[in-house]
């Protein structure tokens, strides 16, 4: 119990073909909503923090809240830096007590990504912290023309193997058609599962047994939350996410960390919009933020039970 690395979580998830949810946190109510859901489902969890969320929450408050979450819930929680852009932010998070960091060198050319990732791995491992890196670039919103452009930045399987060998990185985020945000596909949702299979197989054949693969941009853009936002004055049009059956398929194929931020944002916003519209005379923040916390909890419970399948994963970590 407490703050732990993702090592054992990923081993168990890979063996049993489920995934661990990596949920982005931005404030206390989001943390509590996620943790209350995980507690109810007896699920291990990764709380992840983007650089802008790190600045927004401020390091002292962030660490205090996450430690309180671990103590109060008795759950195994990994605290992860999401999309660290340079060595310095990774080092800062390692020094603060994060249990894993992501160095996202995907915007650099290949050799620079290797060198930067290696530098972070060396520092993090020396401090007992594990590292995620990214190879290939996540696509933006796709139309017929842009799909081709996006294709050019899908993760190359041979490069993935070379990258893992040379950097010693503990997990790898790959690009197979997902993207960040609420507008992932213009037409039909499509992921390159053949590529995922090839990457997993190449790693397995080279001796990296059950190598942890990470899927970013994995929100389903929950239609219930989008409809609620729009019903109460929102303007979220043509939003589309990753269908849940695709996420389940990915978790059965070596993906053991599934990143979700957009769905949490939508749940929180839907709750607040609904509350404000129905109770225009109320102005106690605990009313609408409390409703937001409830909706985040319901969303995360649904993800654990119906999408990632991590219910009772705490038992696998004993």
Contact between 277 and 252 (Cβ < 8 Å): no
Q: How far is the CB of 180 from Zn ion (least distance, A)?
A: 6
Stretch that binds ligand 13P, among 38-46, 91-99, 109-117, 258-266 (CB under 6 A): 258-266
218: partner contacted, choices Zn ion, ligand G3H, ligand 13P, none (Cβ within 5-8 A by kind): ligand 13P
Residue among 180, 201, 202, 249 that touches ligand G3H (CB under 6 A)? 180
CA–CA distance, 304 with 295 (Å, rounded to integer): 14
Q: Does 164 bind ligand G3H (CB under 6 A)?
A: no
Q: Which stretch binds ligand G3H (CB under 6 A): 30-38, 48-56, 236-244, 276-284?
A: 48-56
What part of residues 102-131 is at the interface with ligand G3H (CB under 6 A)?
none
Q: Given the structure tokens 């912290």, which residue do they identify? A: 129
What gap in Å lies between CA 140 and CA 150, rounded to an integer? Answer: 8
Radius of gyration of the chain (CA): 19
Number of residues near Zn ion (by CB under 5 A): 1
Query: Which residue, 128, 127, 130, is CA-closest to 117?
Result: 130
Per CB under 5 A, which region of 12-20, 112-120, 208-216, 238-246 contacts Zn ion?
Answer: 208-216
Stretch near ligand 13P under the rule CB under 6 A, chosen from 204-212, 216-224, 249-257, 266-274: 216-224
| Residues whose CB falls within 8 Å of the CB of residue 12, separated by 6 or more in sequence, listed in order | 313, 316, 317
The answer to whether 58 contacts ligand G3H (rule: CB under 6 A) is: no
Q: Output the smallest distance, CB 156 to ligand 13P, in A.
A: 20
**Which of 36, 82, 104, 156 does the annotation list as catalytic?**
82
Q: Which of 36, 76, 82, 274 binds ligand 13P (CB under 6 A)?
A: 82
257 binds Zn ion (CB under 5 A): no
Neighbours of 4 (CB within 10 A): 19
- Tell me if 79 sits within 8 A of 65, measured CB to CB: no
Out of 219, 225, 251, 297, name the contact with ligand 13P by CB under 6 A.
Answer: 219
Name the residue with tokens 């830096």: 81
Which residue number, 67 or 180, has a Cβ lying nearer to ligand G3H? 180
- Site for ligand 13P contains 181 (CB under 6 A): yes
**Contact status, residue 178 vs residue 140, Cβ threshold 8 Å:** no
Which residues, listed in sequence order, are joined to residue 213 by a DSSP beta bridge?
Answer: 172, 255
Does the annotation mark 194 as catalytic?
Answer: no
| Partner from Zn ion, ligand 13P, ligand G3H, none contacting 260, C-beta within 5 to 8 A by type | ligand 13P
52 binds, among Zn ion, ligand G3H, ligand 13P, none (CB under 5 to 8 A by kind): ligand G3H
Nearer to ligand G3H, 217 or 309 (CB): 217
216 binds Zn ion (CB under 5 A): yes
Query: Binding of Zn ion at residue 265 (CB under 5 A)?
Result: no
Residues involved in catalysis: 82
Binding site for ligand G3H (CB under 6 A): 24, 50, 52-53, 82-83, 180, 261
Binding site for ligand 13P (CB under 6 A): 24, 82-83, 180-181, 216-219, 259-263
């Amino acid at each position: 119990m407490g703050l732990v690395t993702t090592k054992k979580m990923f081993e168990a998830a890979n063996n049993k073909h489920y995934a661990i949810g990596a949920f982005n946190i931005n404030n206390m109510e989001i943390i509590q909503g996620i943790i209350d859901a995980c507690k109810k489902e007896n699920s291990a969890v990764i709380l992840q923090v983007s650089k802008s969320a790190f600045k927004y929450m401020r390091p002292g408050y962030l660490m205090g809240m996450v430690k309180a979450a671990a103590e109060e819930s008795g759950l195994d929680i990994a605290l992860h830096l999401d999309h660290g852009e340079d060595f310095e932010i990774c080092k800062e998070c390692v020094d603060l007590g994060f249990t894993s960091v992501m160095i996202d060198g995907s915007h650099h050319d290949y050799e620079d990504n290797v060198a930067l990732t290696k530098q972070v791995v060396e520092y993090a491992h020396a401090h007992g912290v594990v590292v995620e890196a990214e190879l290939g670039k996540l696509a933006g919103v796709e139309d017929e023309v842009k799909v081709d452009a996006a294709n050019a930045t899908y993760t190359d399987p041979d490069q993935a193997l070379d990258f893992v060998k040379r950097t010693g990185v503990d997990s790898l985020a790959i690009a197979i058609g997902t993207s960040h945000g609420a507008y992932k596909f213009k037409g039909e949702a499509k992921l390159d599962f053949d590529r995922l299979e090839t990457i997993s197989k190449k790693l397995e054949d080279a001796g990296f047994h059950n190598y942890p693969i990470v899927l970013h941009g994995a929100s389903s853009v929950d239609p219930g939350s989008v409809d609620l936002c729009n019903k109460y004055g929102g303007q979220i049009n043509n939003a589309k996410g990753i269908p849940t059956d695709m996420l389940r398929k990915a978790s059965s194929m070596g993906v053991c960390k599934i990143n979700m931020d957009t769905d949490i944002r939508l749940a929180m916003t839907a709750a607040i919009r609904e509350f404000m519209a129905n109770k225009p005379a109320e102005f106690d923040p605990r009313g609408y933020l409390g409703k937001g916390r409830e909706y985040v909890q319901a969303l995360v419970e649904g993800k654990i039970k119906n999408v990632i399948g991590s219910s009772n994963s705490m038992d696998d970590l004993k």
